[in-house]
Amino acid sequence: MHIGIFSSQLGTVGGPSVVDLRTINRLAAIDRANTYSIYEVTPGATRELQLADNFTVRRLSPQGKWPGVAFALTLELRRRPVDVLHASFVPPLIIPRKLVVTMTCWSQYAEPEVYPPLIRWRLQYLLDRGCPRAAAVFCYTDYLKGKVMERFGLPDERVFVTRPGLGPEIRRHEDADSLKNFLGQFGIDRPYILFIGSLTRRKNVPRLIEAFHRLRQEAGIDHQLVLVGETLFLADDIFATITRLGLEQHVVLTGRRPHADLPAFYTGADVFVFPTLSEGFGMPPLEAQACGTPVAAARVSSVPEVVDDAAVMFNPYDVDDMASAIQTAMADLPRRAALVAGGLQNASRYSWDNMARELLAGYAAVHAAG
């Protein structure tokens, strides 16, 4: 079987890029029976891939995410057809016969207001056009599978759950001195509450800042709030909230950091908070669990499914409820110990090998369907 993988996220930032990179590398490690074409959408997007001899990188021309979606991939497939095309995140404009689409998120439908209008329109248009015509849709979670089946009227046998994993690099940082030195580079010199994710409206960071302010005022905490992530669209409210509440000296903005840095941030935190309004999977709280950090997370979309019962859940629209959950995860010592133990056990269920095998099963089913 010749499988083409088209990821518009490789070479970008964020969870879908990490998932695609890790799963392609695991497919290359475990699958010698099939051949693969990996399509490079932007210059250097495939540079971190570790590929075997049965994998070939095809550079699309012209380069660019949206030219690739619109026509470059179609031209490449006419020159070199594949048996199954796997499009991660968004399908191409011209739909090949055996297309598999990965649905990574549902916020473009559930909370469309968190996207700029043009981005929202493109996402909805391509997914509404591609998913009903796809031979199969892969989903990160059961939550997404239910949404896909409901919106597109697809039967169960055409929708597969392919759960992202964790690698051995996501583990607790054990060297206290090097951890202190690492955190000190960013001005982190007190106990801290951690958020990791894109700084954009969907992640609900302004309410997290409000909850942090209330804990400082009402519970008397002297923590810092550390925000690790790249500033994306619709982020002005985040910085305005910090200024309005006079928290400039208590909020640390690190910008985007390499994935290899994240275990240190998780390890040093008193609690990891995930206040998202919508999530297709939600890698950061799972990574925090793998590092032995207590988690407080939003009770929305796929998040409860991913964190299982090893997090303090809250209503992300209720600042008081969020603040209470954070305080519980920090100060209720028996609950905190249970969160750490439960989080480590939950995180151990996820691996990239499992996801690669789920993908292979899906490819085989699509190919066998004729």
pLDDT higher than threshold 70 for residue 370: no
pLDDT, residue 311, reads 98
**Residues 342 and 355 occupy one common structural domain:** no
Greatest C-alpha distance within the chain: 65
Residue 310 neighbours by CB under 8 Å, 6+ apart: 289, 295, 338, 339, 342, 343, 345, 346
Residue type, 108: Q
Condensed to tens digits (0 to 9), the pLDDT of residues 141-179 reads: 999 999 999 999 999 999 999 999 999 999 998 899 999
Does residue 228 lie in a domain region?
A: yes
Strand ranges (E), the chain: 2-7, 35-40, 55-59, 84-88, 99-103, 136-139, 159-161, 192-196, 224-228, 251-255, 271-274, 295-298, 312-314
pLDDT, residue 369, reads 86
**Residues 199 and 329 occupy one common structural domain:** yes
**Residues 114 and 256 occupy one common structural domain:** no
**Residues 273 and 304 occupy one common structural domain:** yes
**How many whole angstroms separate alpha carbon 259 and alpha carbon 271?**
19
Q: How confident is the model at residue 134 (pLDDT cuts 50, 70, 90)?
A: very high
**Residues 339 and 362 occupy one common structural domain:** no
CB 139 within 8 A of CB 104: no
CATH (domain of 18) = 3.40.50.2000
Does residue 170 lie in a domain region?
A: no
Q: Is 248 exposed, middle or buried (0-12, 13-18, 19+ CB in 10 A)?
A: exposed
**How many whole angstroms separate alpha carbon 5 and alpha carbon 21?**
11
pLDDT, residue 32, reads 95
Q: What are phi and psi of 129, to 5 degrees?
A: -85, -40
pLDDT higher than threshold 80 for residue 97: yes
CA-wise closest residue to 270 among 195, 367, 354, 358: 195
**Residues 150 and 257 occupy one common structural domain:** no
Q: Which long-range contacts (CB under 8 A, 24 or more apart) does 111-120 make?
A: 111/202, 111/277, 111/278, 113/201, 114/200, 114/201, 114/202, 114/234, 114/277, 114/278, 115/202, 115/233, 115/234, 116/233, 116/234, 119/233
pLDDT higher than threshold 80 for residue 14: no
Token pair of 205 as six digits:
């960071």
Q: What are phi and psi of 30, to 5 degrees?
A: -110, -15
CA-wise closest residue to 75 among 28, 39, 104, 29: 39
**Residues 141 and 193 occupy one common structural domain:** no
**Residues 93 and 134 occupy one common structural domain:** yes
**Residues 200 and 333 occupy one common structural domain:** yes
Mean pLDDT of 284-302: 97
**Residues 198 and 236 occupy one common structural domain:** yes
**How many whole angstroms separate alpha carbon 153 and alpha carbon 213?**
45
Q: What is the residue whose two structure tokens read 């998913």?
A: 131
Q: Output the CA torsion 326→332→338→340 (10° steps).
A: 50
Q: How confident is the model at residue 184 (pLDDT cuts 50, 70, 90)?
A: very high
Condensed to tens digits (0 to 9), the pLDDT of residues 154-163 reads: 999 999 999 9
- Domains held by the chain: number: 2
pLDDT higher than threshold 90 for residue 93: no
Condensed to tens digits (0 to 9), the pLDDT of residues 209-253 reads: 999 999 999 999 999 999 999 887 777 899 999 999 999 999 999
C-alpha angle 341/207/117, rounded to 5°? 115
Does residue 171 lie in a domain region?
A: no
pLDDT higher than threshold 90 for residue 188: yes
**Where in the sequence is the domain holding 159, given as residue range(s)?**
2-165+351-368
pTM over 0.85: yes
**Residues 208 and 247 occupy one common structural domain:** yes
Does residue 50 lie in a domain region?
A: yes
**Residues 204 and 233 occupy one common structural domain:** yes
Mean pLDDT of 100-120: 87
